[in-house]
Amino acid sequence: MTQPYSPDPRGHTRSTPGRLKVYLGSAPGVGKTYRMLDEGRRRLDRGTDVVVGYVESHNRRRTEERLAGLEVLPRLHREYRGAQFTEMDVDAVLARRPEVALVDELAHTNIPGGKHAKRWQDVRDLLDAGIDVLTTVNIQHLESLNDVVQKITGVPQRETVPDEVVRRADQIELVDMPPEGLRRRMVHGNVYGPEKVDAALSNYFRVGNLIALRELALLWLAGRVDEGLQRYRAEHGIGGVWETRERVVVALTGGPEGETLVRRAARIADRASGGDLLAVHVARSDGLADASPAALSAQRQLAESLGGSYHSVVGDNIPTALLDFARAENATQLVLGTSRRSALLRAVTGRGIGETTVELSGDIDVHMVTHEQSGRGRRLPMPGGPHPTMQRVAGATAALVAPVLLTLVLTQTRGSLNLTSEALLYLLTVVGVACLGGVASALLAALTTSLLLNYYFIPPIHQFTIDEPNNVLALAAFAAVAVIVSTIVERATLLSHRAARATAEAETLSALARNVLGGEQAIPALLARLRETFGMDSVSLVRRGRSGPDTVLATATTATDRGSGAEGDAALEEVSVGGDAVLLLRGRPLPAADRRVLTAFAAHVGAALERERLTEAAAEAEPIESANRSRAALLAAVSHDLRDPLSVAVAAVTSLDSQDIELPAEDRRELFAVGRAALGKLARLVDDLLALSRLHTGSLAPDLQPTTVSESFLAAREALGEVPATVQEDGLDDAPAVLADPALLERILANLLANALLRTPEGAEIQVSARSLGDHVEVLVADRGPGAPVTDRDSVFDPFPPAGESVDARGSGVRLPLALSRGFAEAMGGSLTPEDTPGGGLTMVLALSTAE
Q: What is the pLDDT of residues 429-445, one digit of tens each?
A: 888 887 777 777 877 88
Tell me how far apart the alpha carbons of residues 274 and 734 are, in angstroms, rounded to a whole number. Answer: 72
pLDDT at 661 (0 to 100)? 67
Could you list the beta-strand ranges (E) of 448-580: 538-543, 551-557, 573-578
Q: Cβ-count burial of 617 within 10 angstroms (0-12 exposed, 13-18 middle, 19+ buried)? A: exposed
Q: Which helix (H) or strand (E) holds 83?
A: strand 83-87
> For residues 494-527, b (16+ Cβ closer than 10 Å) or e, as one string?
beeeeeebeeebeebbeebeebbeeeeebbbbbb
Tell me how far apart the alpha carbons of residues 457 and 412 are, in angstroms, rounded to a whole number. Answer: 12
- Among residues 61, 57, 114, the alpha carbon closest in space to that of 91 is found at 114
Q: What are phi and psi of 448, to 5 degrees?
A: -65, -45
Tell me how far apart the alpha carbons of residues 35 and 177 are, in angstroms, rounded to a whole number. Answer: 13
- SS3 labels along 237-295: CCCCCCCCCCEEEEEECCCCCHHHHHHHHHHHHHHCCCCEEEEEEEECCCCCCCCCHHH
Q: What are phi and psi of 541, to 5 degrees?
A: -105, 120
Does pLDDT of 507 surpass 90? no
pLDDT tens, residue by residue, 174-210: 998 888 888 888 887 788 777 777 777 777 888 888 8
Say whether the peptide bond before residue 460 is cis (omega within 30 degrees of 0): yes
pLDDT at 607 (0 to 100)? 80
Q: What are phi and psi of 812, to 5 degrees?
A: -115, 140
| 3 state DSSP class of 138 | strand
* Mean pLDDT confidence for 576-583: 82
User: Which residues neighbour 581 within 8 Å (Cβ) at sequence distance 6 or greater?
Assistant: 541, 542, 543, 544, 553, 606, 609
Tell me how far apart the alpha carbons of residues 781 and 801 are, in angstroms, rounded to a whole number. Answer: 23
pLDDT at 20 (0 to 100)? 94
Task: Specify the range with the lowest mean pLDDT, choosing from 118-127, 503-512, 817-826.
Answer: 503-512
pLDDT at 559 (0 to 100)? 45
Query: For residues 316 and 610, which has the higher predicted lDDT (pLDDT)?
Result: 610
pLDDT tens, residue by residue, 11-23: 566 668 899 999 9
Does pLDDT of 243 surpass 50? yes
Tell me how far apart the alpha carbons of residues 276 and 274 are, in angstroms, rounded to a whole number. Answer: 7
Q: What are phi and psi of 3, to 5 degrees?
A: -75, 145
pTM, to two decimals: 0.39
pLDDT at 92 (0 to 100)? 92
Tell me how far apart the alpha carbons of residues 227 and 164 are, in angstroms, rounded to a whole number. Answer: 13
pLDDT at 586 (0 to 100)? 83
Contacts from 240-244 at CB under 8 Å and sequence distance 24+? 240/327, 240/362, 240/363, 241/327, 241/330, 241/331, 241/332, 241/362, 241/363, 241/364, 242/330, 243/332, 244/330
pLDDT bucket at 563, cuts 50 / 70 / 90: very low
User: Which residues neighbour 762 within 8 Å (Cβ) at sequence distance 6 or greater?
Assistant: none
pLDDT at 136 (0 to 100)? 94
**Going by DSSP bridges, is the β-strand pair 50-54/100-103 parallel, antiparallel, or unpaired?**
parallel
- Among residues 117, 99, 133, the alpha carbon closest in space to that of 23 is found at 133
Q: In what order do the strands lie in the sheet with 727-730?
A: 727-730, 766-773, 776-782, 842-849, 831-836
User: Which residues neighbour 359 within 8 Å (Cβ) at sequence distance 6 or greater?
Assistant: none
Does pLDDT of 6 surpass 60? no
Tell me how far apart the alpha carbons of residues 335 and 338 are, in angstroms, rounded to a whole number. Answer: 10
Q: What are phi and psi of 74, to 5 degrees?
A: -65, 150
pLDDT bucket at 39, cuts 50 / 70 / 90: very high
- Mean pLDDT over each residue of the chain, to the nearest integer: 77
pLDDT tens, residue by residue, 660-680: 667 777 877 887 887 887 787
Tell me how far apart the alpha carbons of residues 180 and 208 are, in angstroms, rounded to a whole number. Answer: 11
pLDDT at 125 (0 to 100)? 93
Q: Cβ-count burial of 315 within 10 angstroms (0-12 exposed, 13-18 middle, 19+ buried)? A: middle
Tell me how far apart the alpha carbons of residues 749 and 716 are, in angstroms, rounded to a whole number. Answer: 6
pLDDT tens, residue by residue, 269-290: 877 656 788 998 887 654 444 5
pLDDT tens, residue by residue, 319-341: 888 888 888 777 888 999 887 66
Q: Count how many Cα atoms sit within 13 Å of the Cα of residue 572 in the half-sphere of its side chain.
A: 13
